[in-house]
Structure 1
Amino acid sequence: MAASPGGYYPPVGFHFKVEFVGIGNDNDIRFQAVSGLTIEYDTESFKEGGENRFEHKLPVRTKYADLSLKRGMLTDSKVIEWCLKAFEAREFKPVTVNVSLLNEKHTAIKRWEVVDAWPKKWAVSDLNAQENSIVVETLDLAYKYFKVKS
């Protein structure tokens, strides 16, 4: 984002889209929340002889949290059809998922390319006649890793 006369303004977190490469329709890019774009190291502790004040922590491997997507339930979704094939017929076809942070001109300023994602969990919010709320579906995806692209 270009610097303005008043300084730099960080991008907003509510303008984004989620694309499932090879599946989905125009409505399948709209989600209300994305979480799980997290990477961290597993560590292994090493105790050195003669050094009792601390132990060394060494990086072992990276690990990625599940990607969690939330949206109002769609009645015609290719993404959910893809999920149901995995859950009902055990047909797992990993796909690339692109999460793009957009600017005010609707162009991507940062993109997370999630590699070999597959559906791990699909949940629908509670149906309750005493509440006035939409039905929200939550989709949790496992994946190998992600790459950050500009």
Structure 2
Amino acid sequence: MPLAEFDSSVGHSFGLEFDSVLIRQITEVSGLKMEQDVIELKQNTADGKYAIKKLPGRPKAGEVTVTRGLTEDNSFEQWIKDSRFGKMVSARRNGSIIVYDYEGMPIKRYKLINAWPKSLEISTLKAGDTSVLTEKLSITYESVEVD
């Protein structure tokens, strides 16, 4: 059953989709935001008082970090390799971060436009540690659209 009109979703089920490849093993998404510059217009009013008016400016590019458990899937490594060697035609991609409801149906899609990987970080390797190894991919994008 889909969410009712004013029900909120629980942020436990989400995935990353680029080039029609869906990765549902994402464990964390951070830094996803839509932002724009603020323009200050300083002027005097008709009665001579000083006033500052704030206006919307240009949209800002953003950066998001996705984390997943380390697997033998090398799609993150291949994608960052393309950008490191200047193959930006293949490195720049459009993709989405998708949030799912309890039944696995998509309820919100954040489309990342002209995204490419900035960095890939592997979690700390420590002898005797029993925590899950993860990889964090920082993705920079030019704009984000919400569906």
User: What is the CA–CA distance in structure 2 between the aligned matches of 1:95 and 1:114, rounded to whole Å?
Assistant: 8
Shift of residue 2, structure 1, vs aligned partner: 4.2
CA RMSD of aligned residues (A): 2.1
User: What is the CA–CA distance in structure 1 between the aligned matches of 2:116 and 2:36, rounded to whole Å?
Assistant: 22
Residue type of the alignment partner of 2:73: D
Aligned residue among 57, 61, 65 for 2:58:
61
Contact 1:21/1:98, CA 8 A, preserved across alignment: no
Residue of structure 2 in register with 1:95 after alignment:
93
Shift of residue 114, structure 1, vs aligned partner: 1.1
Q: Per the alignment, do residues 142 and 2 of structure 1 end up closer, same or farther by CA in structure 2, a change over 3 Å counting?
A: closer
User: What is the CA–CA distance in structure 2 between the aligned matches of 1:29 and 1:77, rounded to whole Å?
Assistant: 15
User: What is the CA–CA distance in structure 2 between the aligned matches of 1:101 and 1:76, rounded to whole Å?
Assistant: 22
Gaps of at least 5 residues in structure 2 are: none
Residue of structure 2 in register with 1:37 after alignment:
32
Contact 2:62/2:143, CA 8 A, preserved across alignment: no
Residue of structure 2 in register with 1:86 after alignment:
83
Residue of structure 1 in register with 2:18 after alignment:
20
Shift of residue 36, structure 1, vs aligned partner: 2.4
| Larger proportion of strand | 2
Residue type of the alignment partner of 2:69: G
User: C-alpha offsets along residues 97-134 of structure 1, whole Å, 9 cap, x if unaligned?
Assistant: 21111122211111111111101111112212253212
Contact 2:31/2:65, CA 8 A, preserved across alignment: yes
Q: How many residues align?
A: 141
TM-score by length of 1: 0.81
Shift of residue 46, structure 1, vs aligned partner: 2.2
Q: Percent identity?
A: 27
What SS does structure 1 have at the residue aligned with 2:125?
coil
* Poorly superposed stretches of 4+, deviation over 4 Å: none
